[in-house]
Structures are given as C-alpha cells and as structure tokens.
C-alpha cells in the first residue's frame, strides 16, 4: 500500500511523523517530504536532522581549529548543518585531520593529512619536501623529491568512526608534471585492526592500468633501462586481477584503495593503514608525486 493511500497515517501530529522520519535515512526523509505539506514540515524539523547527525558531533566540533561555539552559530537549522558537513570538510586536531559526512547515509568520513602520516625519511629534505599545493584541503602536502623505496603509514581509532559500517581507506595523491620511477612498480597495502589484516597489491603509477590493458611489460638491461616490449597473455599475469589501480576523483586528485575494514558496535581499536613498496633486487629513484591525505570513508553499497 502506498503512503498516499494511508490517510490515517497522514493525519498524525507533525511531531509523530517527524519521529518516524528520524528512524529512516536522510535520503528517505528528503524523498518522503514530497508526500504532503505536513510531511514536508516534519522532514525539515531539527528533531529529524538531529538524529541524522553523529551523536558525538559536538565533541568532534570541539576539536575543530575554530572551536565548537563559533562553528555551530553559523547554522540556523540542523538540516543546514548536516548539508554543510556533507559538502565541506572541517579541520580538526590542529589541522591534521578533516571531518565530513556521507550525504546519503550520514556516516562519518575522515581525512588524515600528510603531516599526520608516518612517511619513511619524510623529515629528510633530500628525499621529501613539504609544499603548498593548489586545491589541497590542507596547508601542506608531501612531495617525492628523490626516494628509492617508500613507506607510508596512517592510523585512526575505530571509536570515532560510525559503528556497524564497512569502511575503505584511500591514498589521495597527484602527479606533478610527469612522475618518474613508478612505472611497473608495485606496492603492498595493509589494513590492520586488532588481529584482522587485509592485504592487497597496489599500483601508484596513474598510467599503469592502461599499460596493463595493452598487455605490455618491459625487459631490462643491467641498468634497468627498457629496450623492448614483450607481449604477455593476461591469464599468465596471476596477480593482475587482484591489483588496485589509481582512479581520478571529482576534485581533480587521484586515489587508490588501500583496503577495507568493518567497524563493529562499540569497537575501540586502532586502525593501521600501511603502504610499502615491494623490495626488489633493484630499486629505482622516484620523484614528482604529491601525497595529500589518506581518506577513510564508508564503502559504497
């Protein structure tokens, strides 16, 4: 039976309808607001959108660089606040993290700035440099200046994430002009939460997926210079189907998935995210890649 035919339900007090809508989702509440004027008014109420906001949002706002009071006074309604958090990121913890919401579900999303990550030899200027980069959410980003092998680690406590939710972590980066040294190089990514470990193979080179579609790999001389291309069958490349390749984001940056994990109810454990290049007999110098953040957001269902 359609909602429109349930005349008795439509005649309920607005407060009762608002309570029912608050038990749905932001997406459903917006859709149901078109039923009639009473539903529309109920769907706009603070009682509904307060339920869609995280229960600890005040605590999170207290960690913002502007402070909770100055931030909350900007918004007239809870819906206005909710929509702002879906489209904007607020900086917290001294500007080393950002917080936002997924618009469809209201689940929490976080970004760990490059300054909040452990980067092997990141404090050695000849290997890495810290730069200001256009369209970055944070004041600084880390640039590969000249490194052989690389290792990047991030950590977040599962207690500040949305419980009962499957998350994925992504490294967000961009090439600076044309990168060097990442072609045909693979890395290993781990997501560790308690005793559970998710492991997968990751490619950083933005052009590698297209290169693999052409089924070409280089052969090398002693000095690792490609002198020919050898065609290989896809089904002989046993790990190719398990690799994660970079994807272009809507904000112009690129991202590659590091892995996924599930946050259980009342879970309070560190989630560790690790990306490390495979050790090989020969390492080559890498440069001109800019690391912005590790982003943790709900897995799309």
Q: How far apart are CA 151 and CA 244, in angstroms?
A: 17
| Comparison of pLDDT for 181 and 229, the residue scoring more | 181
Asked if residue 292 is part of any domain, the answer here is yes
Q: What is the DSSP string of 50-83?
A: HHHS-TTHHHHHHTBTT-HHHHHTT-SSHHHHHH
| Comparison of pLDDT for 122 and 167, the residue scoring more | 167
Asked if residue 161 is part of any domain, the answer here is yes
Q: How far apart are CA 198 and CA 193, in angstroms?
A: 9
Asked if residue 71 is part of any domain, the answer here is no
Rounded to 5°, angle at Cα 222 from 218 and 225: 40
Q: Which of these, 258, 296, 299, 290, lies nearest to 138 by C-alpha position?
A: 290
Number of neighbouring beta carbons within 10 Å of residue 68: 15
Q: Which residues of 16-49 are buried (b: 16+ CB within 10 A; e: fewer)?
A: ebbbbbbebebeebbebbebeebbeebbbbeebb
Asked if residue 61 is part of any domain, the answer here is no
Residues in the chain: 301
Asked if residue 152 is part of any domain, the answer here is yes
Q: How far apart are CA 44 and CA 283, in angstroms?
A: 58
Q: Are residues 158 and 252 in the same domain?
A: yes
Confidence of residue 258 (pLDDT cuts 50, 70, 90): very high
Asked if residue 293 is part of any domain, the answer here is yes
Write down the mean pLDDT value for the chain: 82
**In which domain, by residue range, is 23 found?**
1-52
Q: What is the DSSP string of 205-254?
A: -TTHHHHHHTTEEEEE-TT--EEEEEE--GGG-TTGGGEE--EE-TTS-E
Asked if residue 97 is part of any domain, the answer here is no
Query: What is the tens place of the pLDDT at every residue in 88-110?
Result: 999 999 999 999 999 999 999 99
Number of domains in the chain: 2
Give the CATH number of the domain where residue 247 resides: 2.60.120.260
Q: Are residues 37 and 126 in the same domain?
A: no
Query: What is the tens place of the pLDDT at every residue in 47-104?
Result: 889 999 999 998 998 999 877 776 778 888 999 999 999 999 999 999 999 999 999 9
Q: Are residues 172 and 293 in the same domain?
A: yes
pLDDT at residue 147, rounded to an integer: 86
Query: What is the tens place of the pLDDT at every residue in 268-282?
Result: 999 999 999 876 545
């Amino acid at each position: 039976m359609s909602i429109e035919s349930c005349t008795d339900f439509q005649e309920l007090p607005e407060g009762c309808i608002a309570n029912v809508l608050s038990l749905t989702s932001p997406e459903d509440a917006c859709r149901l607001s078109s039923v009639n004027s009473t539903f529309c008014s109920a769907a706009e109420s603070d009682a509904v959108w307060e339920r869609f906001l995280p229960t600890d949002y005040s605590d999170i706002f207290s960690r913002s660089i502007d402070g909770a009071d100055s931030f909350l006074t900007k918004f007239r309604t809870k819906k206005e606040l909710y929509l702002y958090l879906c489209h904007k990121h607020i900086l917290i913890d001294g500007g080393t993290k950002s917080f936002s919401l997924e618009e469809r579900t209201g689940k929490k999303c976080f970004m760990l700035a490059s300054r909040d990550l452990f980067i092997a030899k990141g404090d050695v200027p000849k290997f890495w440099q810290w730069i200001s980069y256009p369209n970055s959410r944070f004041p600084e980003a880390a640039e590969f200046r000249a490194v052989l092998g690389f290792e990047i680690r991030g950590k977040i406590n599962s207690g500040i994430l949305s419980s009962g939710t499957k998350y994925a972590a992504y490294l967000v980066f961009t090439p600076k002009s044309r990168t060097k040294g990442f072609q045909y190089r693979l890395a290993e990514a781990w997501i560790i939460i308690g005793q559970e470990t998710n492991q997968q193979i990751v490619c950083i080179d933005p052009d590698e997926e297209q290169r693999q579609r052409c089924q070409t790999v280089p052969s090398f001389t002693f000095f690792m210079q490609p002198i020919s291309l050898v065609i290989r069958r896809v089904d002989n490349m046993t790990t190719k189907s398990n690799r994660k390749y970079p994807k272009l984001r809507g904000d112009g940056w690129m991202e590659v998935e590091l892995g996924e994990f599930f946050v259980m109810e009342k879970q309070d454990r560190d989630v560790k995210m690790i990306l490390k290049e495979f050790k090989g007999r020969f390492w080559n110098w890498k440069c001109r890649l800019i690391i912005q953040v590790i982003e943790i957001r709900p897995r799309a269902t």
